[in-house]
Structure 1
Amino acid sequence: MELSDIAGRVIEFSVDQHGSRFIQQKLEHCSDEEKASVFSEVLPQASKLMTDVFGNYVIQKFIEHGTPAQREELVKQLAGQMVSLSLQMYGCRVIQKALEVIDVDQKTELTRELDGNVLKCVRDQNGNHVIQKCIESMPASRIGFIIAAFRGQVATLSTHPYGCRVIQRILEHCSDGEETRCIIDEILESAFALAHDQYGNYVTQHVLERGKPDERRQIIEKLTGNVVQMSQHKYASNVVEKCLEHADSTERELLIEEIMGKSEEDNHLLAMMKDQYANYVVQKVLEISKDEQREILVQRMKIHLESLRKYTYGKHIVARFEQLFGEESEASEEGTEG
């Protein structure tokens, strides 16, 4: 069967699972004449097809493989509908596809329609993908209206299941511009609270991984004095691990010192090693500590190895310890048995 065989029935085919797939496959390799014939039926129904479970794929295929003139016609159909399509399950996919292929001036014109509805889109299960695509596919200078909408809202958005993704896209794609300085500042301001949040912790980790040294330093300063408590928290413990990974040598030494305590009496280690979250932090310290700190840590841990075997999470530490210092720990155990 060819496209010419479905003349007059293109819409009927487009909204059918198998029919839609047939049209999609044919559009990739058909002649311009066949394309034009199908398009003449699609265009008057384009708005309906964009929000259809199967029809949206036919529109996407035309945006991708249609002639420049056909693409232009479909983009005109998007105008005036950007908000409603962005919030619709299938319409949002059509918009994302358009943002991948149209030029930056067309993108700028279309996305202006979202101004005033940015936060609504970010908090929506469909709309957030459109905002992410805007950030990924447009220069920061063209999405000022998105960044402006986030002012004063960054901490709230960072603790939202969709908002946290959008904030991370901003950090990935616009991190150098002056435009986004306000975003970073608000994250730094709320770093401690965000670290404890099930979504916000990812935003804090993102800055630790990819941020500038000064931004990383500010986060570590905000968390200092609370590292032991944070290590025993489901979400904040991940942030502590990232701090240890990405800190410079001075910052790292101070963090480890806080975890180990200044003296044997001030030792948080045993509680941390038994804890379901903090034991991973101690494992990280084991991996990255150096010289004297590592020596002290190993000595303190050896004392507790036997008692740790009795605890579910303590076993993780013993296994990691033996992996790193196999012979030493076995020798010390033989000594205790004798």
Structure 2
Amino acid sequence: MVPSQMSWGCEQEESTPMPVMWYVLPAEAQMSAYPVQGSMGFYSPTAPGTQGPVTQGSMTQGWQAPMQQLPQMLPLQPVQAAQVQSPSPMPMHSAPQMAFSASEVPMDGQYVRMPEQCCVPRVSASAAEVSTAPSEASCDEADDLTATTMKSMSASAARRLRRKRAAERKARAGAEDLAQHVDVSGLSLRELRPQLEQASELDQLRGHVWALSQDKKGCRVVQKALEVAGRETAAIAGELSGHVLDAIKHPEANYVVQKAITQLSVGGSSFIVEEIQGSAVAVAKNRMGCRIFCRLLEFCSTNPKLGHLVDELLMDVSDLCCHAFAHHVIQSILEHGEERHIHIIAQTLTADVVRFAQHKNTSYLIEKVMTLCSCTEQDQGAMILALNFQRLLFLAKTQYGRHVAKTMLKDPRWYAVWAAEEFERLIFPFRAGLEADRFGSLFLKDMAQPTHD
């Protein structure tokens, strides 16, 4: 392109389909032109003292005609933006490139008002978009990933994931919050917590274990100390001596006692067993106390003192089997207790098996007797002999007894003892009556499900 000539053109912007007009003005005309009017304005060069329409020969003297006559002075053929190629860049001293506002585009001899578009160089706008896009995209992708993951999960899996995350947040927040609210002799626990793993710093908890164990947040500090104390664990747990019964019934301190049982040796937890003696039944019937009993049976079953404590407990075994909390202790005895204690429980349940089988809690214990390998074959055989087919047919129509009937009739030993046929032939004459009963129909559905070994 010759620098002394004027030319029009247009090019397609990246961010919008609207063409942006560009206009090449000779250097001489540029020098006499007025400055741009505002950031969105257009060039309106005129030369004082000139008259008449502006021609190419008078372009060096400036323009006097208004911009509205520009299309008549410089007739252009309508072109499509896709047909016009961007001109090659020119040196600034020869013919600088200038742009009209995108809101004033000459079309068909008239200026058509278009939506305002920013005339800031596209490089700057693109740079701004590139700088902000990654952070916004990453947030959106994270949200989409979480939403997609939760949608793809089943309801139970989503609940487990939420509970796991909630437990992790609670553990992290608890360690920080309790350090802000609880002080030990004027020393902030925030200063103590990072150093709890050092045995020398654990001495600063001495004398305050019982007080902290009764605090909702302080009990977590003591539990953490019991985990990391090593040789000092027995000394820290020893401060609970004399307070075990109170701690067992306390909504916060009972967790400290449970943690102490899991961290101490069998002999180290003997003081807990000793303080419970004489109150075994009351502890087993307590909402928090039954947990302590279960932890003792799980971790200290070889302790002879615990055997004496269970002997005291089983003096009222029939009532404990039906209790809302104590039946958990009976189940732990069936799983971890001594054989003589398991035999006492099995005999008690077999003596009145039909009544116990209809109870919410004891029906579950009967199932445990028949399925746990800790129970002897003699006890399981006695239970089978106590439940003939007529009793099982009666239990199949009860809310909780149907579970006992199902357990028995899915055990091959029951058919061997009673010389009975297979279940389908055995139950066929009574199927109509069972289907008409609410719990009987549920019993048949349970029996139709395959047995999982």
Q: Where on the TM-score scale, by shorter chain, does this alignment land: which range? A: 0.7 to 0.9
Q: For residues 437 and 419 of structure 2, what CA distance do their matches in structure 1 show?
A: 24
TM-score, normalisation: structure 2:
0.55
Q: Which has the higher contact order (CA 8 A, sep 6+)?
A: 1
Instruction: State, as a whole percentage, how many aligned pairs show the same letter.
Output: 25
AA of the residue aligned to 2:184: S
Aligned-CA RMSD value: 2.9
SS of equivalent to 2:356: helix
AA of the residue aligned to 2:398: D
Aligned-residue offset at 1:136: 0.7
1:276 aligns with 2:416: no
Q: How does 1:99-178 map to 2 (within 5 A)?
A: 99-104=226-231, 106-178=232-304
Aligned residues: 272
1:81 aligns with 2:81: no
Counterpart contact for 2:393–2:405, Cα < 8 Å? no
2:427 match: 301
Aligned-residue offset at 1:294: 6.3
Counterpart contact for 2:284–2:325, Cα < 8 Å? yes
Counterpart contact for 1:286–1:294, Cα < 8 Å? no
Distance 1:61 1:311, change over 3 A: farther
Distance 1:248 1:301, change over 3 A: farther
Give CA deviations for 1:101-130 in whole Å, capped at 9, x if unaligned: 1133x2222322212211110011111111
1:254 match: 382
1:241 match: 367
Counterpart contact for 1:56–1:91, Cα < 8 Å? no
Counterpart contact for 2:226–2:237, Cα < 8 Å? no
Aligned-residue offset at 1:324: 5.6
Counterpart contact for 1:122–1:162, Cα < 8 Å? yes
Q: For residues 279 and 324 of structure 1, what CA distance do their matches in structure 2 show?
A: 16
More strand by proportion, 1 or 2?
2
**Aligned equivalent of 1:95, options 209, 222, 227:** 222
Aligned-residue offset at 1:307: 1.1
1:33 match: none
Aligned-residue offset at 1:281: 0.8
1:72 aligns with 2:200: yes
Give CA deviations for 1:11-38 in whole Å, capped at 9, x if unaligned: xxxxxx9xx97x97xxxxxxxxxxxxxx
- Further displaced range: 180-189 or 290-299: 290-299
Q: For residues 370 and 428 of structure 2, what CA distance do their matches in structure 1 show?
A: 22
Counterpart contact for 2:247–2:257, Cα < 8 Å? yes
Q: For residues 157 and 300 of structure 1, what CA distance do their matches in structure 2 show?
A: 46
AA of the residue aligned to 1:254: A
SS of equivalent to 2:196: helix
Counterpart contact for 1:196–1:233, Cα < 8 Å? yes
**Aligned equivalent of 1:316, options 442, 445, 448:** 442
SS of equivalent to 1:114: coil
Larger radius of gyration between Structure 1 and Structure 2: 2
Q: For residues 278 and 412 of structure 2, what CA distance do their matches in structure 1 show?
A: 39
- Further displaced range: 188-197 or 300-309: 300-309
1:213 aligns with 2:352: no
Counterpart contact for 2:244–2:257, Cα < 8 Å? yes
More helix by proportion, 1 or 2?
1
Aligned-residue offset at 1:259: 2.0
Aligned-residue offset at 1:245: 1.4
AA of the residue aligned to 1:283: K
Counterpart contact for 1:196–1:235, Cα < 8 Å? yes
Counterpart contact for 1:159–1:197, Cα < 8 Å? yes
AA of the residue aligned to 1:63: L
Distance 1:277 1:48, change over 3 A: farther
1:198 match: 324
Distance 1:110 1:292, change over 3 A: closer
1:35 match: none
Q: For residues 193 and 428 of structure 2, what CA distance do their matches in structure 1 show?
A: 62
Counterpart contact for 2:363–2:404, Cα < 8 Å? yes
Counterpart contact for 2:251–2:288, Cα < 8 Å? yes
1:231 aligns with 2:231: no
SS of equivalent to 2:410: helix
Q: For residues 160 and 57 of structure 1, what CA distance do their matches in structure 2 show?
A: 35
**Aligned equivalent of 1:63, options 182, 185, 196:** 196
Counterpart contact for 2:388–2:418, Cα < 8 Å? no
- Flag structure 2 segments of 5+ consecutive residues without an equivalent: 1-168
Distance 1:324 1:98, change over 3 A: closer
Distance 1:253 1:97, change over 3 A: same
